[in-house]
Amino acid sequence: MLLTCDDAWFGGWRGPSILRIEAGRLSYGGPADGTETDGQLAATVFAPFTDSHVHLGLVDPGALVVGGIGRVVDLGWDPALSTSWPTRGTAADSGWPEVSTSGGLLCAPRGYPSRSGWAPAAAALEIADRDAARTTLEGLQDHGATVAKITLNSDAGPVWDDDLLVAVVDEAHRLGLPVVAHAQGLGQTRRAARAGVDALAHTPFSERLDDDLVQDIARRMTWISTLDIHGYGSGGVAFDTAVDNLTRFHAAGGSVLYGTDLGNGPLPVGLNGRELAALSRAGLDLDAILRSLTPGSAEASFDTRLVTVLPGPRPTTVAELAQAAVATLPELLAGAE
């Protein structure tokens, strides 16, 4: 089945477009070229807005979808629970966002978050050597994890030495799992970068990174924003430090993903307007923010059972994104003429 829409965002602006729906999944079908389709949408259709850092064990997944988020990456919970959550193949009417998960969080023995209040004890997977890292990561992957979450938080407990850190990252990469690190404490961002970590779960906020380091890691790392965890508009040092680091990282060409660490602290469940405003503060324009919200959507193989929709022509301001809503494919079809 084919639909036409006024405008579309899949990895970039596409203009008037054809959307293809097959077996419960939607994919980008190319520019509208006069081909007869099954319906016309007077709307702009986006790849589903994605929060790349959530903890679904702490929030209502259905409320996230109602709030405008269609896809999430869960970065740590009790893997016995999180690996049983519905993944991308789930039914259209499940009410869930599309979920990718890390399962648990790999950490040094007694390391963060093994003694923190927010995570269940089973979420912290304490790793003392390379063999334990391999076995643990294989087990997580067998149960559906598609990303490895590690912690390097010297503010809240022990961290691995460089040798074991590199070994853990290598074992994840050997399995094809990208590595996302919670890096906190002086020097931990540099250590993560040297070890080959692919992404940071938070924009670094413990210290102002020097320009050389920012330039270096902008070429090979992705940062997940999470600026509002520090309280947008609070005037706090951590917020200002994070915005300063992100401003320079983005200017140097670094890849930024929208993420909120949803579940930790009093954040709105859904698309967070304060996070978007903070991204603007760091110099991301509307297109850069849309890229941060739609990872993977430039790939030809990208498909989804949820999309984000804005009525009317393409937005020209970040504030307009607050009106975006998630639609299932049956809802999308019902809105076509």
Shortest Å distance, C-beta 153 to Zn ion: 11
What is the token pair recorded at 37? Answer: 């389709």
Q: Where do the DSSP E strands lie in 68-133?
A: 71-74, 98-101, 105-107, 124-126
Distance CA 107, CA 146 (A): 18
Stretch in the footprint of Zn ion (CB under 5 A) among 7-15, 114-122, 260-268, 274-282: 260-268
Shortest Å distance, C-beta 118 to Zn ion: 8
| 261 touches Zn ion by CB under 5 A | yes
Q: For 143, which DSSP code?
A: T
Stretch in the footprint of Zn ion (CB under 5 A) among 118-126, 148-156, 232-240, 257-265: 257-265
Shortest Å distance, C-beta 98 to Zn ion: 19
Shortest Å distance, C-beta 195 to Zn ion: 20
| 74 touches Zn ion by CB under 5 A | no
Stretch in the footprint of Zn ion (CB under 5 A) among 43-51, 130-138, 187-195, 254-262: 254-262
Stretch in the footprint of Zn ion (CB under 5 A) among 28-36, 92-100, 261-269, 319-327: 261-269
Shortest Å distance, C-beta 201 to Zn ion: 6
Query: How many chain residues touch Zn ion (CB under 5 A)?
Result: 1
What lies within 8 Å, CB to CB, of 287 at 6+ separation is: 12, 13
User: For Zn ion, which is the closer residue by CB, 200 or 289?
Assistant: 200
Stretch in the footprint of Zn ion (CB under 5 A) among 149-157, 259-267, 301-309, 322-330: 259-267
User: For Zn ion, which is the closer residue by CB, 4 or 153?
Assistant: 153
What lies within 8 Å, CB to CB, of 269 at 6+ separation is: 59, 60, 63, 64, 67, 262
What CA–CA distances, in Å, run from 13 to 100, 105, 315?
25, 36, 11
Shortest Å distance, C-beta 113 to Zn ion: 9
> Nearest Cα to 293, choosing from 62, 69, 99?
69
What lies within 8 Å, CB to CB, of 336 at 6+ separation is: 3, 38, 39, 40, 41
Count of CA atoms in the C-beta half-sphere (13 A) of 295: 20
Distance CA 192, CA 85 (A): 29
Which of the residues 19 through 58 are near Zn ion (CB under 5 A)?
Answer: none
Distance CA 18, CA 10 (A): 12
| 275 touches Zn ion by CB under 5 A | no
Stretch in the footprint of Zn ion (CB under 5 A) among 14-22, 43-51, 125-133, 258-266: 258-266
> Nearest Cα to 307, choosing from 111, 7, 27, 56?
27
User: For Zn ion, which is the closer residue by CB, 141 or 151?
Assistant: 151
Shortest Å distance, C-beta 119 to Zn ion: 9
User: For Zn ion, which is the closer residue by CB, 51 or 261?
Assistant: 261
Rule CB under 5 A: which residues touch Zn ion?
261
